[in-house]
Amino acid sequence: MPQVQKPKQTPPLPPLIREVKLIDRYSRSNFPDDLRFREYLKTRLNMPREQTDLIVKETTDEVWSQIDCVACANCCKTLSIEVDAKDITKLAARLHISMAQFKTNYCEVLPDKTVVLKSRPCVFLADDGKCKVYEDRPRACMDYPYLAEPHFVARSISMVENCRCCPIVFNVWQQLKVKLGFRGVVGKAGPKK
């Protein structure tokens, strides 16, 4: 009688973590492991780009459905938000001021000439975690955390960086280590009591 091969068992996914402070700590201690995972994605993952992007999208949808961005708002509290002329036009119109006034009141120019919103937390972040200019928020806010865009592997260094800020990125990244067959997967950090 031929031997029946048992199907390979997929390792369990790591538990979802939402607390920003915990994520920051785990991301710091996981950093070397995260870099190794990135290297694995770029050099050893034998998978068509489209398939990887699809797995990333499905994982993102699954994780995002369990995380409340209004309750988190960490990107709005901590990141410098880049704005371009289109963003400034929309926001100035919304506030009924000129573009020049908007730039003076709300923007700063970085040494590399990038224009960003000048306050952190963002001046448009309301106390309840909602965005006061949501419909007219900058493109960078709409696109963040950039998980849905194609060529995930090529952009994966920014994911290593974003793990510390964004609970969605952090959890997607940890789950991908399992789903994409990376060895030595789960972060070394464990919860400190």
Q: How many Å apart are CA 45 and CA 52, to the nearest integer? A: 9
- Residue 101 neighbours by CB under 8 Å, 6+ apart: 92
Q: Can you state the angle between helices 167-179 and 49-64, rounded to 10 degrees? A: 130
Question: Toward ligand SF4, which CB reaches closer, 45 or 136?
Answer: 136
C-beta of 13 vs 72, nearer to ligand SF4: 72
Q: 62: closest CA among 172, 173, 186? A: 172
Place of tokens 């793990």: 163
67 binds ligand SF4 (CB under 6 A): yes
41 lines the binding site for ligand SF4 (CB under 6 A) = no
Residue from 41, 69, 88, 159 that binds ligand SF4 (CB under 6 A)?
69
Binding mask 107-146 for ligand SF4 (x = CB under 6 A): ---------------x-xx-----x-x---xx--x--xx-
Q: Bridge-partner residues for 115, per DSSP?
A: 109
CB of 107 to ligand SF4, least distance (A): 12
Instruction: Return d(Cα 14, Cα 192) in angstroms, integer.
Output: 17
Residue with Cβ nearer ligand SF4 (75 or 159) = 75
Footprint on this chain of ligand SF4 (rule: CB under 6 A): 67, 69, 72-76, 81, 122, 124-125, 131, 133, 137-138, 141, 144-145, 165-168
